[in-house]
Structure 1
Amino acid sequence: MTPTRIVCIRHGESTFNAAHRLTGRDPGHIDARLTERGLGQVEAARAALHDIAFDLVVTSPLTRAIQTTKGLFAGHPAKPRILVEVLHRECQESSCDIGRAASVLASEFPDVAVDHLPEIWWHAEGAPDADGIHIEPRPLFDRRVVDFRTWLAGRPERTIAVVGHGTFFFHLTGTWLDNCETVDLDLSRLRMSR
C-alpha cells in the first residue's frame, strides 16, 4: 500500500547555515548542529504538525535532522515511530554533510535507534577535495533520490513525515524549502525513471 500523505520537513537552521549566510564560505562545521535560532524554528513549527496523525517519522542521520525530529515529535499525540534512514541524507558537497559514526550518534542520542546503520554511512569514497571533503558524485546522488522515492512508495504506513535537507528535498519534490518549512510529496505525480 502506498502512503496517502508524505510531509517533507527541512531541518532548522544549522551552525553551517548561519555561518555560510554571513561569509559565503564553508565554515568547516562537520555534521552541523542546530543554532539557537534553529531550535526556535523547530519549536515554532511543532504546532502545524500537532494534529497530523503520523504513523512514521523518517529522519536523516545528520545531527541537525535528528535534533529537528526530536524537537518536532517529542510528545506528539500520535506517538509515531521514528526511523533513521540514510537514503535521504543531504547531497554531500559541504563540511556539514559529512556525518559522524553511528556509534557516536548512539552515544549522543541513546533514545534514537541507529544500530542498523553502518558505522560510516555517509559518502567517503574517492579522493577528497582541497578542503578534505569527499564530494558525492551527482549520479550517485540522483540514484539515491530515485531509490528513496521507491522506498517511500513501498512503505505500509499511511501518513509519513520525512525530516531532511534542502538540496535533497529540492531534487525529490521540485520545491526549495527554508529551514523548518514543509511540503507535501505526491508520489503519484513523480516519475520513477531510472
Structure 2
Amino acid sequence: MAGKTIIFVRHGESEYNKAMRATGQDPFLRDAPLTETGRAQAEEAQGVLRKLQEEVGSDGWLLLSSPLQRALDTAAGLWPSRFFAPAERLERLEVWPELREVITGCDDLGSTPQRLLEKYPHLQQLNLLPEVWWTVPAAYQNLPADGDAMKDAYKDDEDAFEDADEAVFDSRVALLIEKLAAVPESKIVVVAHCDLIGKLTKKMGLKEKTTSGGFRKGWWLSNCECRMLRDFHFS
C-alpha cells in the first residue's frame, strides 16, 4: 500500500511573533493575524510549494489548515486558488481543530466559527467547528467564547490554560495521526504551527539535523518553511 506524502508548512510571521521578537514579552494578542511580512512570506512560499508538489505530481492534493487566523491567512496566501475555490469545484480543503498550536501564549486562544466567518465568509465548513475548539480549563468554561474575558483570564492564570492543554495534547496528536492516516488522499499539505508540527513529527519518528551536526527529534520549522515527507506509512 502506498504511503502518504505530506508537506508541512509553518505559518508566516504573525503580529504576535513580531511583538515577541521586539520585546520578549507576551503582548496578549488573541488569535493574531499575519503581519505584512507574514503575508509576503506566504506569497513567496507559493513557488516552493509548487516545486515540491510537482516532484510527486501536482494533482490530487488535500489542503489542511489549523483554524487559528495566522494559519488560515498563510493557507490563503500560499495556495489561493485552493483556499478561495468555490465549494462546487469540490477541491479539498479542510480546517482541523487538532492542528491548532500548543498553548504557550495568549495568541493560541482561538476565535469562534462566527468570528472566523466574518473574515473568511466563503469557508462555510467553519460552521462545523465547535463554538470553542481550543483548550479552556474547567474553571473558565463559563466565560464568553469571544471577547476580552477569556484573554484576561489567560493573563491572570496562564498556567491553568497551559496545563489543561498539555493534559489533552497526547490524545489530540493521536487523533490527528488517525485522521491523517484515514483521509483518502495520499498527498497532503498541512498548514500549522511550530510546536504542533515539531511534536507531531517527533511522534511520527522524524528527526532533523542540527547546526552542530547531530540530530534532534521532530521537525522544527521557521516561518513559512515548507518541508516534504515522502511515502510515509502510518503504523
Common topology (TM > 0.5): yes
1:178 counterpart residue number: 222
Q: Tell me, what secondary structure is at the counterpart of 2:188?
A: strand
2:118 counterpart residue number: 107
User: 1 or 2, which has the higher helix percentage?
Assistant: 2
Aligned residue-pair number: 188
Give 1:88's match in structure 2, choosing from 66, 89, 99. 99
1:21 counterpart residue number: 21
**122-131 vs 36-45, which moves further:** 122-131
Q: What is the distance in 2 between the residues matched to 1:137 and 1:164?
A: 17
Q: Indicate how the Cα distance of structure 1 residues 40 and 130 shifts in structure 2: closer, same or farther if over 3 A, else same.
A: closer
Partner amino acid, structure 2, of 1:67: D
1:165 counterpart residue number: 193
- Residue 34 of structure 1: CA displacement? 0.2
- Counterparts of 1:50-61 in structure 2 under 5 Å? 50-51=50-51, 52=53, 53=58, 54-61=60-67
- 2:63 maps to 1:73: no
Give 1:125's match in structure 2, choosing from 137, 141, 165. 137
Q: What is the distance in 1 between the residues matched to 2:126 and 2:15?
A: 23
Q: Tell me, what secondary structure is at the counterpart of 1:114?
A: helix
Q: Tell me, what secondary structure is at the counterpart of 1:163?
A: strand
- Residue 75 of structure 1: CA displacement? 2.3
Gaps of at least 5 residues in structure 2 are: 86-90, 140-152, 202-217
1:143 counterpart residue number: 171
Q: What is the distance in 2 between the residues matched to 1:94 and 1:180?
A: 20
Gaps of at least 5 residues in structure 1 are: none
Q: Would the aligned equivalents of 2:101 and 2:193 in 1 still touch at CA under 8 Å?
A: yes
- Residue 119 of structure 1: CA displacement? 1.2
Q: Tell me, what secondary structure is at the counterpart of 2:34?
A: coil
TM-score by length of 2: 0.74
- Residue 137 of structure 1: CA displacement? 3.5
Percent identity for Structure 1 against Structure 2? 37
Q: What is the distance in 1 between the residues matched to 2:185 and 2:17?
A: 32
